[in-house]
């Protein structure tokens, strides 16, 4: 039977419905999907070696025999590490797995079994071993195979060589290839291989290019990576083009409130604040809505910039709303707004989950009738009954805490309102181009004057007494402190116990010092009470889980001790650390690591000691942990990549983005003949919504 890319896999010769089902469950439905099931590595048979000859960083293939398989518990969590020991006539080596490839994976490695191990040799504490190698059965027809063999991720017992045979079967049966979706000028400008050839080469690798494949630098891989980025970028570009069509509230006035605000401040705006507000103001004065992200390190004064925008909007008669991720933060913003905006005549309101029903009713009525200029709150703001009379500006603080839908709901409460998101997590450029690729970016890259950098030290548990001693010296000088514990979801109870028991211990140890305890399981009113006491210096040391992470501003607190620092992401550590260093006092951050910290963990904390540049830290974090982990939540858009990697393929990402935006610049409605395949593909990938802005 002649196949096409959209033919179901089950019609492939030798497959049938049962195997077809198995593939479908893995998300592989069509022949096209099968072609995009790329090998996870290539085995270079010319690199076959014996164990005794291995050297660090070699990528090799060895023929060996299984000696033992066992699992080892890791720390106090439920995670396990698997160790497969293999040997040949020359020696033996450990193959370690920190993740289980699939259930039952290790069961087939019985002692004496002959296997082929393919992977990179790693040096672990002076011993050579493999981490996550490919271990595959030795095939009867082994000798007749190519010198470079694609290795596929096994599908529930379907071994890699079986998958290879299926894929190649499909290539031999396929007759009809779709036309290139990309216009010719892109193929030429970026020197791209035809997609068809690229796909084929992935599954029929050229032994001459083994080294290129290993580094994802072959022209075949580049084409595929380019495509993956291109479709995302084209989608983002069309969204952005769409924004430019929505009619926005025009905010243009004499800026008398703005002038009064600036005059009332006890300090000068930083140049960065002025520049960023300038960019915002220009957007507000346009007839299509702003979609802007303001990035800036903790304490760089983003909130004030957003207040300025709200003041400016109110003078043109528009309402604004500011949504924050926690009640503590919403209340803090509200208090600040009372100081800064109320004197200018702005009418403010606060709406959080715990607001009393009567208050709430009053606020909602006032909002609806236009008697409120700025409403500040938590996600309580997105509820249906929150109705504005004239919403002109939506501001979202620490926006990575919110999902795309939540942002969308707020937007829909106005008539194409302007949209401003703020984040203290510096976003590496690659993420700014993908996850947030439809937003314009402003960066507050300057701190208000008079802040000295936070001195950071990483140390081990054994030095905790000294760390506490040092903290107490600061307390004696009148300062305040934070002690932070991680709260990892899977072991929430254990961690909570850590914070609570440490709090009890400290109270006993230092009876003259007043301690407070703050954690996520407390009622909002209890949390507030604790925070208020801390703000008033009635609590000197706040023992807390990460609930204090965002936004909390207590300038007298100048020292933070972070326990189990190795368990945090670097960007999170950086945010936490930003809670100190907010006043005139020299500030300190002590990172305490558990004894079990890995080399990688040490490298990460060393990075924290070295730099206070949030962007550098974010790039490093992204490199070490990947985008999913980095963002804290799984962000849509990135999970779709089969081969592309944001860190490794930055250059290609840049090209794909440039190409996608250029397509829409030349042909904003995608009406040209050369763009018809592309338009069809966009529609297929993202549905009609993708074209809403441009059609």
Give contact residues for Mg ion (rule: CB under 5 A): 551
Alpha carbons 49 and 47: distance in angstroms, whole number = 6
Residues near 78 by beta carbon (within 8 Å), at least 6 away in sequence = 490
Query: Does residue 370 bind ligand ADP (CB under 6 A)?
Result: no
Q: Which residue's CB is nearer to ligand ADP, number 149 or number 261?
A: 261
- Of 385 and 613, the one with the shorter C-beta distance to Mg ion is 613
Stretch that binds ligand ADP, among 9-17, 21-29, 78-86, 265-273 (CB under 6 A): 265-273
Rule CB under 6 A: is residue 296 a binding residue for ligand ADP? yes
269 scored as a contact of ligand ADP (CB under 6 A): yes
Q: Which stretch binds ligand ADP (CB under 6 A): 93-101, 205-213, 302-310, 402-410?
A: 302-310
CB of 685 to Mg ion, least distance (A): 36
Taking CB under 6 A as the binding criterion, the range among 268-276, 279-287, 472-480, 686-694 that sits at the site for ligand ADP is 268-276
Per partner kind, with CB cut-offs from 5 to 8 A, the member of ligand ADP, Mg ion, none near residue 445 is: none
Residue 32 is a binding residue for ligand ADP (CB under 6 A)? no
Question: 432-447: string of b/e by CB count within 10 Å (b at 16+)?
Answer: bbbbbbbbeebbbbbb
Structure tokens at 217: 């630098």
Figure out which of the listed residues 351, 424, 518, 539 binds ligand ADP, where binding follows CB under 6 A: 424
Part in contact with ligand ADP (CB under 6 A); list of ranges 267-275, 322-330, 536-544, 643-651? 267-275
If contact means CB under 5 to 8 A according to the sort of partner, which of ligand ADP, Mg ion, none does residue 270 touch? Answer: ligand ADP
Q: Which does 571 bind (CB under 5 to 8 A by kind): ligand ADP, Mg ion, none?
A: none
CB of 532 to ligand ADP, least distance (A): 17
Asked if 352 contacts 380 with a C-beta cutoff of 8 angstroms, the reply is yes
Q: Which is nearer to Mg ion, 551 or 601 (CB)?
A: 551
How many CB atoms neighbour CB 69 within 10 A? 19
305-338 burial, b at 16+ Cβ within 10 Å, e below that, comes to bbbbbbbbbbbbebbbbbbbbbbbbbbbbbeebe
Note whether 693 binds ligand ADP by CB under 6 A.
no
For residue 221, give the DSSP letter: H
What phi, psi does 9 have (nearest 5°)?
-60, -35
Q: Which does 66 bind (CB under 5 to 8 A by kind): ligand ADP, Mg ion, none?
A: none
Is 375 among the residues that bind ligand ADP (CB under 6 A)? no
Burial, 488: exposed, middle or buried (Cβ in 10 Å; 0-12, 13-18, 19+)?
A: middle
CB under 6 A: which stretch of 235-243, 293-301, 361-369, 676-684 binds ligand ADP?
293-301
Return the residue of 7, 160, 238, 270 that touches ligand ADP, per CB under 6 A: 270
Residue burial 25-48, b: 16+ Cβ < 10 Å; e: rest: eeebbbbbbbbbbbbebbbbbeee
**Is 377 exposed, middle or buried (CB count within 10 Å of its CB: 0-12, 13-18, 19+)?**
buried
**Is residue 225 at the binding interface for ligand ADP, with CB under 6 A as the rule?**
no
Residue 269 interacting entry, from Mg ion, ligand ADP, none, C-beta within 5 to 8 Å by type: ligand ADP
CB of 582 to Mg ion, least distance (A): 11
Beta carbon nearer to Mg ion, 551 or 569 = 551
Q: Tell me the C-alpha distance between 71 and 632, whole Å.
A: 29
* CB 451 to ligand ADP: min, Å: 9
Residue among 140 and 450 whose Cβ is closer to ligand ADP:
450
325 binds ligand ADP per the rule CB under 6 A: no
CB of 553 to ligand ADP, least distance (A): 5
- Which residue do the tokens 């450029």 mark? 429
267 binds ligand ADP (CB under 6 A): yes
Residue 426 interacts with ligand ADP (CB under 6 A): yes or no: no
For ligand ADP, how many residues bind (rule: CB under 6 A)? 16
Candidate ranges 300-308, 478-486, 563-571, 673-681; the one touching ligand ADP (CB under 6 A)? 300-308
Question: Would you tell me the crossing angle of helices 302-315 and 327-340 to the nearest 10 degrees?
Answer: 60
Q: Which does 304 bind (CB under 5 to 8 A by kind): Mg ion, ligand ADP, none?
A: ligand ADP
In whole angstroms, give the CA distance from residue 671 to residue 226.
Answer: 23
Interface with ligand ADP, residue 299, by CB under 6 A: yes
Cα gap 363→351, rounded to integer Å: 8
Q: Give the 3-state secondary structure of residue 312.
A: helix
Q: Is 273 among the residues that bind ligand ADP (CB under 6 A)?
A: yes
**Shortest gap between Cβ of 524 and Mg ion (angstroms)?**
19
The verdict on 577 binding ligand ADP (CB under 6 A) reads no
Asked if residues 333 and 304 have their Cβ atoms less than 8 Å apart, the reply is no
Q: How far is the CB of 552 from ligand ADP (least distance, A)?
A: 9
Q: Does 579 bind ligand ADP (CB under 6 A)?
A: no
Half-sphere exposure of 540 (CA within 13 A, CB side): 16
Question: Pick from ligand ADP, Mg ion, none: which does 553 bind, CB < 5 to 8 A by kind?
Answer: ligand ADP
147: helix, strand or coil: coil
- Piece in contact with ligand ADP (CB under 6 A), picked from 48-56, 178-186, 233-241, 261-269: 261-269
Closest approach of ligand ADP to the CB of residue 308, in Å:
10
CA distance 168 to 178: 18
Q: Contact between 301 and ligand ADP (CB under 6 A)?
A: yes
267 binds, among ligand ADP, Mg ion, none (CB under 5 to 8 A by kind): ligand ADP
Among Mg ion, ligand ADP, none, partner that 296 touches (CB below 5 to 8 angstroms by kind): ligand ADP
CB atoms within 10 A of CB 538: 11
Binder of ligand ADP out of 151, 248, 276, 304 (CB under 6 A): 304
Instruction: Find out whether 643 and 225 touch, Cβ atoms under 8 Å.
Output: yes
β-pairing, 291-296 vs 418-423, is: parallel
Q: Which of Mg ion, ligand ADP, none sits in contact with 299, Cβ below 5 to 8 A by type?
A: ligand ADP
Is-contact 151 134, C-beta < 8 A? yes
Distance CA 467, CA 475 (A): 12
Q: Does 298 bind ligand ADP (CB under 6 A)?
A: yes
What residues numbered 532-561 form the site for ligand ADP, per CB under 6 A? 553
Measured in whole angstroms, how far is the alpha carbon of residue 434 from the centre of its chain? Answer: 11
Residue nearest to ligand ADP (CB): 301
- State whether residue 674 is helix, strand or coil: helix
Nearer to ligand ADP, 140 or 266 (CB): 266
Give the strand pairing for 114-124 and 134-137: antiparallel
**CB-based contacts of 234, cutoff 8 Å, min separation 6:** 660, 663, 664, 678, 682
CB atoms within 10 A of CB 476: 11
What would the 3-class secondary structure string for 449-481 be?
CCCCCCEEEEEEHHHHHHHHHHHHHHHHCCCEE
**Residue written as tokens 């501001």?**
395
Q: Which is nearer to ligand ADP, 273 or 652 (CB)?
A: 273
Determine if 392 is a binding residue for ligand ADP (CB under 6 A): no
Question: What is the nearest approach in angstroms of ligand ADP to the Cβ of residue 280?
Answer: 14
Dihedrals phi, psi of 351, to nearest 5 degrees? -135, 110
CA 646, 442, 246, 321 dihedral sign is positive
| Site residues for ligand ADP per CB under 6 A | 267-270, 273, 296, 298-304, 424, 448, 553
């Amino acid at each position: 039977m002649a196949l096409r890319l959209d033919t179901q896999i089950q019609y492939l010769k030798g497959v049938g419905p049962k195997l077809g089902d198995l593939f479908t469950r893995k998300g592989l439905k069509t022949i096209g999907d099968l072609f995009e099931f790329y090998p996870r590595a290539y085995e270079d048979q010319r690199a076959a070696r014996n164990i005794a000859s291995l050297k660090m960083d070699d990528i090799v293939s060895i023929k060996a025999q299984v000696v033992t398989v066992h699992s080892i518990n890791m720390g106090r969590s439920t995670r396990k590490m698997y160790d497969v020991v293999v040997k040949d006539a020359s020696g033996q080596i450990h193959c370690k797995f920190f993740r289980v490839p699939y259930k039952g994976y290790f069961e087939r490695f019985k002692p004496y079994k002959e296997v082929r191990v393919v992977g990179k040799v790693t040096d672990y504490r002076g011993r050579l071993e493999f981490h996550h190698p490919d271990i595959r059965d030795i095939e009867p027809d082994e000798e007749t195979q190519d010198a470079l063999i694609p290795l596929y991720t096994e599908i529930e017992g379907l071994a890699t060589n079986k998958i290879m045979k299926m894929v190649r079967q499909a290539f031999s049966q396929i007759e009809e290839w779709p036309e290139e979706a990309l216009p010719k000028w892109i193929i030429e400008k970026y020197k791209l291989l035809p997609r068809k050839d690229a796909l084929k080469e992935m599954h029929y690798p050229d032994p001459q290019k083994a080294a290129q494949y290993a580094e994802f630098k072959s022209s075949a891989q580049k084409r595929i990576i380019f495509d993956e980025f291109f479709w995302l970028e084209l989608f983002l570009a069309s969204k952005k083009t769409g924004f430019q069509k929505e009619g926005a509230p025009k905010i243009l006035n004499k800026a008398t409130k703005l002038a009064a605000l600036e005059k009332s401040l006890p300090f000068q705006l930083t140049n960065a604040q002025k520049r960023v507000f300038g960019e915002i103001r220009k957007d507000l004065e346009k007839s299509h809505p702003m979609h802007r992200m303001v990035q800036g390190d903790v304490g760089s004064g983003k909130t004030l910039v957003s207040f300025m925008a709200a003041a400016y909007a109110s003078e043109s008669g528009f309402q604004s709303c500011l949504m924050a991720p926690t009640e503590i933060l919403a209340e803090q913003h509200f208090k600040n707004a009372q100081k800064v905006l109320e004197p200018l005549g702005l009418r403010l309101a606060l709406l959080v989950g715990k607001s009393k029903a009567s208050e709430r009713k009053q606020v909602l009525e006032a909002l609806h009738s236009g008697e409120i200029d700025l409403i500040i709150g938590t996600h309580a703001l997105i509820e249906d009954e929150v109705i504005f009379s004239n919403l002109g500006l939506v501001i979202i603080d620490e926006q990575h805490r919110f999902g795309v839908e939540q942002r969308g709901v707020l937007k829909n409460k106005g008539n194409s309102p302007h949209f401003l998101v703020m984040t203290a997590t510096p976003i590496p450029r690659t993420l700014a181009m993908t996850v947030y690729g439809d937003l314009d970016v402003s960066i507050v890259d300057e701190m208000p004057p008079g802040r000295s950098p936070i001195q950071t030290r990483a140390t081990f548990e054994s030095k905790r007494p000294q760390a506490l001693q040092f903290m107490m010296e600061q307390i004696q000088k009148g300062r305040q402190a934070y002690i932070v514990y991680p709260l990892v979801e899977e072991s929430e109870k254990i961690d909570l116990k850590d914070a609570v028991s440490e709090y009890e211990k400290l109270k006993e140890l230092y009876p003259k010092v007043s301690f407070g305890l703050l954690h996520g399981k407390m009622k909002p009113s209890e949390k507030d009470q604790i925070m208020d006491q801390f703000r008033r210096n009635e609590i000197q040391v706040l023992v807390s889980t990460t609930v204090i992470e965002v936004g909390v501003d207590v300038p007298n607190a100048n020292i933070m001790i972070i326990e189990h620092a190795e368990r945090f992401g670097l960007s999170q550590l950086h945010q936490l650390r930003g809670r100190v260093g907010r006043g005139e006092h020299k500030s300190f951050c002590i990172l305490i690591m558990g004894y079990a910290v890995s080399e990688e963990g040490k490298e990460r904390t060393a990075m924290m000691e070295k730099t206070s540049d949030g962007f550098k830290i974010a790039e490093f974090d992204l490199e070490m942990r990947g985008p999913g982990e980095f963002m804290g939540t799984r962000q849509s858009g990135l999970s779709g990549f089969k081969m592309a990697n944001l860190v490794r393929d930055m250059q290609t990402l840049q090209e794909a983005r440039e190409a996608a935006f250029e397509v829409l610049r030349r042909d904003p409605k995608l009406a040209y003949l050369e763009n018809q395949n592309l338009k069809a593909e966009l529609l297929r990938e993202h549905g009609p919504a993708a074209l809403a802005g441009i059609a």
